[in-house]
Amino acid sequence: MQGVSKRMHGSAVRLKYSNLIASLLCASLLASCSQKEEKSESNADQKEAPNSVTVSKELSDDLKIKTEAVEKRMLATSLHVTGQIHPEFGKEISLTTRVAGRVVDILVTPGQHVKAGQVLALIDSQNVSELQAELIEAKSKLQIARAHQDREEDIYDEQLKRPKALIAAREHSTEAKVQLELTEREFKRVEQLHKEGIAAAKDYFSAQANYAKAQAAFRQASSDLQREEQLFQNKAMMKRDFQLAQAETKREEQHLNTLKQRLRFLGMTEKMLEQVLSSGKIEGTVPILAPIDGLITHQDIAMGEIVDPGKQALRISDLSTVSVTADISEVDLTHVTIGTKVRVHVTGFPGKFFDGTVSYISSHVNPDSRTVPIRSRLSNPDLKLKANMFAETDIELSPRMVLACPKSAVLERDAHKIVYLSNAGTYKEQRIITGSSNEKYYEVISGLAPGDKVVTSGTLLLKTELGT
């Protein structure tokens, strides 16, 4: 019994010590947590920089701090956008072949300057040869049709004169009839006198001869009159033949002109057409002509290559003037119009600026970015500006009254613009939002009020004092 009692007393003592150790451990953990929280708060206080600082006049002079009041000004601001240089619309043309054939000559090289109408390459085409043969045949048929028309026209013109000939024939027939009647009466009178033995035989025979001549003349006049009457009755038929000849000539002329137009479409020049028509010789080649002045910027054909219609052969770019494309926010549309002046800078020519004007403003707003595409035209006589160059564009906006802050007062911090406000030796950091700008001032959208004084000199040293 005494041993059991001792064991129970030992267990109670050990339990009492275990509880005491557990209590001490909990207290230690709570203290440690409390110290960590205090230390964390202390570190946070140390990291949080003061928002303002008071600087004595002596320190202000040492830091060379200068201030300027923010006020409203007439600001000729500019809108800065980035874009890309492209050839103007219609001044970059891809030339394609219009016939199937073989490339027999290439007369230009990439980078070469060409003039409008210049022959760039020659293609030998069977289709062109066949059309030229038809052209020569059509010319011959037209000549034959014109000759036939001229003959029918002469006949018709003569037929128009028939009324005069008919009238003359009638008069001649009448005169012949009168003469016949006179000679007949004279012959009968002399014949009666000759029977009575009064008239001599020679007078009888003379009167008989005159009567026979008058009969022959009357028969001839009657025949001429009958022929002229028949010709006059056939006048409508003569006119129809002339009209048919005219129609045939017109049809052959149209066929010839159609062949010329087809050959022109395939690339033949007027000089080449006239040469084929005058010589009657088939050439079979068609040129690729330059439609505009410019530079050969791409070549996609080779000597001896067989090409099909529609294959891209060459590209010509006229870069004497170029377009700069850019996107502006829809809120800036009221400040930009056709003719607004722009100044462009490209990284390839540091310190050089190119002046131009806005030539196009899109009528559609991009629904995702809420921007509007614009183009500006730049003169490029020296061809320094190249297609696809990146360009920075400053669009000159009309002067307007805005709240203006000096650019020298504005700093960047955490992707935001800040200034330091000055008030009786105390300097406070202030975040602002700016709009458009010029060389000296930003337009202030929010963050400042008229009369606020901002630090324009010594801002970096002041920033160090504030620890920001």
pLDDT of 66: 87
The pLDDT tens digits of the residues spanning 445-455 come to: 999 999 999 99
Architecture of domain 127-280: Orthogonal Bundle (1.10)
Q: What is the CATH number of domain 92-125+284-318?
A: 2.40.50.100
pLDDT of 207: 85
pLDDT of 169: 83
Residues of the chain with pLDDT under 70: 1-52, 55-63, 158-162, 233-238, 463-468
Q: Is the pTM of this model over 0.85?
A: no
The domain spans of the chain are 50-77+397-468, 80-90+334-396, 92-125+284-318, 127-280
Task: Give the closest residue to 237 by CA, choosing from 150, 148, 159.
Answer: 159
Task: Give the closest residue to 284 by CA, choosing from 117, 118, 130.
Answer: 130
Q: Would the CATH topology of 50-77+397-468 be identical to that of 127-280?
A: no
Per the rule left: phi > 0, alpha: psi between -120 and 50, beta: everything else, 76 is beta
Architecture of domain 80-90+334-396: Beta Barrel (2.40)
Q: Is 358 helix (H, G, I), strand (E, B) or coil?
A: strand
Residue 94 identity (one-letter amino acid): S
- Residue ranges of E strands in 279-399: 285-289, 294-299, 306-307, 312-317, 321-329, 341-345, 354-361, 371-379, 390-396
- Looking only at the bridges linking them, the beta strands covering 371-379 and 113-114 are unpaired
Where would I find the H helices in 116-234?
Answer: 126-160, 162-195, 201-233
The pLDDT tens digits of the residues spanning 32-67 come to: 444 434 444 444 333 334 566 776 666 666 667 889
Q: Distance between CA atoms of 13 and 9, rounded to whole angstroms?
A: 6
Correct CATH for 50-77+397-468 of 2.40.420.20, 3.40.30.10, 3.40.50.300, 2.40.30.10: 2.40.420.20
